[in-house]
Amino acid sequence: MLEVRSLTGGYDKKEIVHDVSFSLKKGHMLGILGPNGSGKSTLLKMISGILPVTAGEILIDEMPRHSYKQKELARKMAVLPQLHAHAFSHTVSETVALGRYPHQSGLFSQWSTDDERASTEAMQQTGVAKYCEHELEYLSGGEQQRTFIAQALAQQAELLLLDEPTNHLDLEHQRQIMDMLKHEVEERQLTVVSIFHDMNLAALYCDELLLLENGRVRACGEPAEVLTEDEIAEVYHTAVARFAHPQLATPQMALLPDTVVADNCVTLEQFTVKSQYVHLHTDKPLRTLSAALHNPGFGWFRHFLNRTVDEHYMSDDAHTEMKNYIANEQLPIEQTVAMMTAVDVQHAVIRRYTNDEHEIFVMVTAGVGNAVDAARGHLHAEPQRVGTINLWAIINGELSDESFMQAMMTTIEAKVKAMQDGEIYDTHTGTIATGTSTDSVLIAATQSGRKYEYAGTITAIGKLIGRGVYETMLIALDDYKRAKGWIQ
Amino acid sequence: MKKHVVGYSVSIMLLFVAAWFAISVGSVKVPLSVLWNPSSADAASANIIWKIRVPRVILAGLVGAALAMAGAAFQGLLKNPLADPYTLGVSSGASVGAVMTIFFGISTSSLGLYTLPIFSMLGAMAAMVLVLSFARLVDRSMKMETLILTGIIVSAFLSSVISLMIALTGDELRQILNWLMGSVSMRGWPYIKMIWPFLVIGGLMLWMNRKELNALLFGEERAHYLGVNVKRSKWMILVGGSILTGCAVAVSGTIGFVGLVVPHMTRLLFGADHRHLLPLSIINGATLLIVCDLVARTIIAPSELPIGVITSFIGAPVFAYIFFRQRRKGR
């Protein structure tokens, strides 16, 4: 649909865009990214014919752009510039109706039903139909922007060039306009080239991205290829961290501000054992990876709860029940991660382990009435007995994602070993158990101070975790056995 | 749509009422019945009506229509509500052209009757080009104030050129002075014949660009994207407007503010859509000038005021009001 071949040009005296090439198939959306002054708008204006081209070619539908007559071109390609000028008052519907100009011809051309349909539809798609009789100058910036998008849509061109279409729009309207464009791209094979300021929005909606730097193409391709941490850091001179969108297979970029991270340190005093729960309350949030009931997965939290519930606790909706419980305790729901156990928290074992500059804390509550040998789990029916091992490993230091996973592996391996050495049997199969069927693990780190790239079993931090978890587990298991009267 | 039906009906009705009064009222009262029953009138009345009043009313109407349409187009093209042939200095340019024709006694056989309007138009175009290029030189975005100020500078200069020519003439002085004051009196049918072809051409040039004018209100860049041939439209509008102004000035001298007041009022009432703004301005411009002329010749009868006095009396306050509104809005 659109092909740009080694395009060079810009303003009269200064070439801004150098040797830019790309092509776009019909029914695709291309996002143009780049820092201020990288030539995004200039490139768009050259494609749309406002600025001169000194070298290179622009093909629209395999025909050179200059071979189109002005009106023909406007039927083929609609353009939404970044700034809008207007004089005197116009109603929204008059403004949108102007988009039909290229479809009208002759001295006495009439407004046809096609014209009417196209402009009504464009107004509905952009949500401005309800203001159609309002005057443009009294509308908000966002409403004006949507009116001009409607005008461009009313042109019914196959190719749409947009310069920051989501400018002035709030979150709802950003999504609405982008969803609508994406829908047009998919359903009607509209081809869209759009400049974006927000690379995350571009990554969400575009099939391809073009990254410009100083008027040259820095990268071009699928969002996953173009949006790399190194590329963005170099082009924008800004540190970013790439992460996956929680629900879509598209990369997103998080800004890493250049501010000094204040020291954050967990101490033993921050652990308290209340009547119904173990509570860790830190000064600043800890990065956390857990299999907790409330707020599992990765997150940042300041309150950590290991709550005792009655042996006969039954709830259809444990999540909501836990949320209500946290709220009743006057704790912030979104900053709290919480798990449950049937073990009385007075039996919780909390210990500090340290060597040289490394320091961790381990918290264990162990109830093994429900012990299971993971290798023979398939021999078990539904769990009937209560019993849970809840394990926390809190680390004063900075962990990479990789070391978070390794810390979790190390914790679990140490737990299994403690089960073995504590001779806890799976009563159903008669073999040594590896855990219970409802265990939970939590790894949290302050993300300040020493950095740990790895946390395997013989790394500095891994050694501490392995030993700490193993020893604390054994103490907790002995405590459990004593309570059950198995040992003296 | 309904708004426009009302607009056209009221405007046309007003035009007829104005024309009717203008024809019947004067130093000699002619009963209205003469208009639809000429046979009942005596020869003197018929003479007054067909030789003096009717051509005068038609000429006033044509001049008003031309100035209002040119004003509407200039305002649209320049996106400037204060633009009109008078404030832009285009009228002064046309005056210089016309005065030169009289001063030098230019008459070419090939142009014949049309010498005066053609030189007026050329003067108008030259002034337009001068004002626009100077304003562009001062400030590329051609802000409202820049343009008006440039118009004033050019007008002042051209006025002095006219004064110089007047000072240098002897016996032709009265003719020029008379004409300069701005009047449609004692012109008669020949003047109507002289300008009507140009009015049609200029009017058509603007009418053909009515949708382009709408698009241009959103800026030249946007108009380009909508498929408007911006360069061609701009030239057609400038030339068309200059032709209309030149014609009006050639027959009636400089009559100020008609091109400012009429499009402004029309736009206020019926919107900025040039498909309706242009024809409505034509009708209302004609009405306004017919009424102004009626007032000019009756208010201090038996003497006559120059018609420009009346239009400026109305126009200047409206100009001030628009300026005030625009500046306040900009803040």
Mean of the pLDDT values across residues B65-82?
90
Alpha-carbon gap, residue B253 to B123, rounded angstroms = 13
Mean of the pLDDT values across residues A376-390?
79
**Quick one: which H or E segment has residue B308?**
helix B307-330
Considering the domain architecture, whether residues A276 and A208 belong to the same structural domain is answered as: no
**Which pLDDT score, from 0 to 100, does residue A217 have?**
92
Considering the domain architecture, whether residues A33 and A69 belong to the same structural domain is answered as: yes
Find chain B residues with C-beta within 8 A of A70's C-beta. 224, 227-229
Find chain A residues with C-beta within 8 A of B76's C-beta. 87-88
Alpha-carbon gap, residue A23 to A58, rounded angstroms = 10
Considering the domain architecture, whether residues A213 and A281 belong to the same structural domain is answered as: no
Mean of the pLDDT values across residues A208-234?
91
**Which pLDDT score, from 0 to 100, does residue B71 have?**
94
Q: Is the Cβ of B189 closer than 8 Å to some Cβ of chain A?
A: no
Alpha-carbon gap, residue A271 to A289, rounded angstroms = 19
Q: How confident is the model at residue B299 (pLDDT cuts 50, 70, 90)?
A: confident
Considering the domain architecture, whether residues A102 and A22 belong to the same structural domain is answered as: yes
Find chain A residues with C-beta within 8 A of B221's C-beta. 50, 81
Mutate to test the interface with B, among A60, A98, A138, A161 (most CBs of B within 10 A): A98
Residue A321 to chain B, least CA–CA distance (Å): 57
**Which pLDDT score, from 0 to 100, does residue B252 have?**
86
Last residue of a domain, one of A234, A255, A276: A255
Domain assignment present for residue A461? The answer is yes
Quick check: B6 and B275 in contact, CB under 8 A? no
**Which pLDDT score, from 0 to 100, does residue A371 have?**
87
Alpha-carbon gap, residue A25 to A2, rounded angstroms = 7
Quick check: B22 and B296 in contact, CB under 8 A? no
| DSSP code, position A103 | G
Considering the domain architecture, whether residues A25 and A172 belong to the same structural domain is answered as: yes
Q: Kindly report which listed range (A3-17, A212-226, A326-340) carries the lowest average pLDDT score.
A: A3-17
Last residue of a domain, one of A255, A279, A307: A255
Mean of the pLDDT values across residues B41-63?
82
Residue A67 to chain B, least CA–CA distance (Å): 14
A472 Cβ neighbours under 8 A, 6+ residues apart: A349, A351, A362, A363, A364
Domain assignment present for residue A201? The answer is yes
CA atoms within 13 A on the CB side of A73: 25
Contact across the interface for A81 and B79, Cβ inside 8 Å: no
Question: In the sheet that A77-80 helps form, which strands lie side by side, from edge to edge?
Answer: A77-80, A159-163, A191-195, A29-33, A208-213, A216-221
Alpha-carbon gap, residue A234 to A245, rounded angstroms = 22
Chain B residue with Cα closest to A151: B226
Contact across the interface for B214 and A98, Cβ inside 8 Å: yes
Domain assignment present for residue A262? The answer is no
| DSSP code, position A263 | P
Residues B208-227 pLDDT 10s: 999 999 998 888 888 989 98
Residues A236-287 pLDDT 10s: 998 888 888 888 888 998 888 877 666 788 999 999 999 999 999 999 999 9
Contact across the interface for A70 and B80, Cβ inside 8 Å: no
Residue B266 to chain A, least CA–CA distance (Å): 12
**Which pLDDT score, from 0 to 100, does residue A111 have?**
79
Please state whether the peptide bond connecting residue B279 to the residue before it is cis, i.e. omega within 30 degrees of 0: no
Give the DSSP letter string of B71-114. HHHHHHHHT-TT--TTTTTHHHHHHHHHHHHHHTT---TTTGGG
Of A470, A487, A471, residue with least CA distance to A479: A487
Percent of chain B at pLDDT exceeding 70: 87
Residues A30-89 pLDDT 10s: 999 999 989 899 999 999 888 888 888 899 988 998 889 888 899 999 999 887 777 787
Alpha-carbon gap, residue A150 to A80, rounded angstroms = 10
> For residue A459, what are its two tokens?
């790394």
Alpha-carbon gap, residue B146 to A433, rounded angstroms = 90
Tell me the CA end-to-end span of chain B in Å, nearest whole number: 33
Find chain A residues with C-beta within 8 A of B229's C-beta. 70
Considering the domain architecture, whether residues A383 and A460 belong to the same structural domain is answered as: yes
Count of structural domains within chain A: 2
A316 Cβ neighbours under 8 A, 6+ residues apart: none
What does the mean pLDDT of chain B come to? 84
Domain assignment present for residue A162? The answer is yes
Contact across the interface for A81 and B225, Cβ inside 8 Å: yes
**B204 or B115: whose pLDDT is higher?**
B204
How many other C-beta atoms can be found within 10 angstroms of the C-beta atom of residue A460? 15
Residues B134-158 pLDDT 10s: 888 887 766 767 888 888 899 899 9
Judge whether residue A5 has pLDDT over 70: yes
DSSP three-state, residue B169: coil
**B19 or A83: whose pLDDT is higher?**
B19
Of A436, A488, A137, A93, residue with least CA distance to A291: A436
Residues B173-222 pLDDT 10s: 666 776 777 777 767 888 888 888 999 999 999 999 999 999 988 888 88
**Closest Cβ opposite residue A73 in set B208, B227, B271:** B227
**Closest Cβ opposite residue B226 in set A49, A86, A101:** A101
Judge whether residue B70 has pLDDT over 90: yes
- Supply the range of the domain harboring residue A153: 2-255
Chain A residue with Cα closest to B141: A85
**Closest Cβ opposite residue B227 in set A70, A84, A85:** A70
The CATH number of the domain where A299 resides is what? 3.60.70
Of A90, A71, A108, residue with least CA distance to B207: A108
Chain B residue with Cα closest to A155: B226
Considering the domain architecture, whether residues A186 and A44 belong to the same structural domain is answered as: yes
Considering the domain architecture, whether residues A106 and A179 belong to the same structural domain is answered as: yes
Q: How confident is the model at residue B107 (pLDDT cuts 50, 70, 90)?
A: low
**Which pLDDT score, from 0 to 100, does residue B1 have?**
56
What does the mean pLDDT of chain A come to? 89
Residues A139-157 pLDDT 10s: 888 888 889 989 999 999 9
Last residue of a domain, one of A255, A282, A304: A255
Domain assignment present for residue A36? The answer is yes
> For residue B34, what are its two tokens?
């003469």
The CATH number of the domain where A99 resides is what? 3.40.50.300
Considering the domain architecture, whether residues A80 and A180 belong to the same structural domain is answered as: yes
Contact across the interface for A101 and B267, Cβ inside 8 Å: no
Domain assignment present for residue A261? The answer is no
Contact across the interface for A104 and B214, Cβ inside 8 Å: no
Alpha-carbon gap, residue B246 to B63, rounded angstroms = 10
Alpha-carbon gap, residue A236 to A385, rounded angstroms = 57
Contact across the interface for B217 and A84, Cβ inside 8 Å: no
**Tokens 């729960």, residue located:** A277
Alpha-carbon gap, residue B191 to A16, rounded angstroms = 57
Contact across the interface for A90 and B217, Cβ inside 8 Å: yes
Domain assignment present for residue A134? The answer is yes
Contact across the interface for B218 and A85, Cβ inside 8 Å: yes
Residues B23-39 pLDDT 10s: 888 767 766 666 666 66
Q: Which amino acid would we find at residue A198?
A: D
> For residue B110, what are its two tokens?
């090939």
Residues A410-460 pLDDT 10s: 999 999 999 999 999 988 888 999 999 889 999 999 998 889 999 999 999
> For residue B89, what are its two tokens?
């200095």
**Which pLDDT score, from 0 to 100, does residue A33 have?**
93
**A18 or A111: whose pLDDT is higher?**
A18
Residues B264-292 pLDDT 10s: 889 888 888 899 999 999 999 999 999 99
B186 Cβ neighbours under 8 A, 6+ residues apart: none
Quick check: A242 and A253 in contact, CB under 8 A? yes
Domain assignment present for residue A260? The answer is no
Contact across the interface for A95 and B80, Cβ inside 8 Å: no
**Closest Cβ opposite residue A86 in set B208, B217, B229:** B217
**Which pLDDT score, from 0 to 100, does residue B184 have?**
75
Q: How confident is the model at residue B331 (pLDDT cuts 50, 70, 90)?
A: very low
Considering the domain architecture, whether residues A161 and A227 belong to the same structural domain is answered as: yes
Of A476, A286, A307, A481, residue with least CA distance to A399: A286
Considering the domain architecture, whether residues A215 and A236 belong to the same structural domain is answered as: yes
DSSP three-state, residue A452: strand
Q: Looking at the DSSP assignment, which residues form a beta bridge with residue A339?
A: A306
Considering the domain architecture, whether residues A69 and A32 belong to the same structural domain is answered as: yes
Domains and CATH numbers, chain B: 64-330 (1.10.3470.10)
How many other C-beta atoms can be found within 10 angstroms of the C-beta atom of residue A136? 20
Taking any CB pair shorter than 8 Å as contact, residues of chain A touching chain B are 48-50, 70-75, 78-79, 81, 84-91, 94-95, 98-99, 101-102, 104, 107, 155
**B186 or A325: whose pLDDT is higher?**
A325
Chain A residue with Cα closest to B231: A70
Alpha-carbon gap, residue B289 to B311, rounded angstroms = 8
Residues A334-372 pLDDT 10s: 999 999 998 888 899 999 999 878 999 999 999 888 888
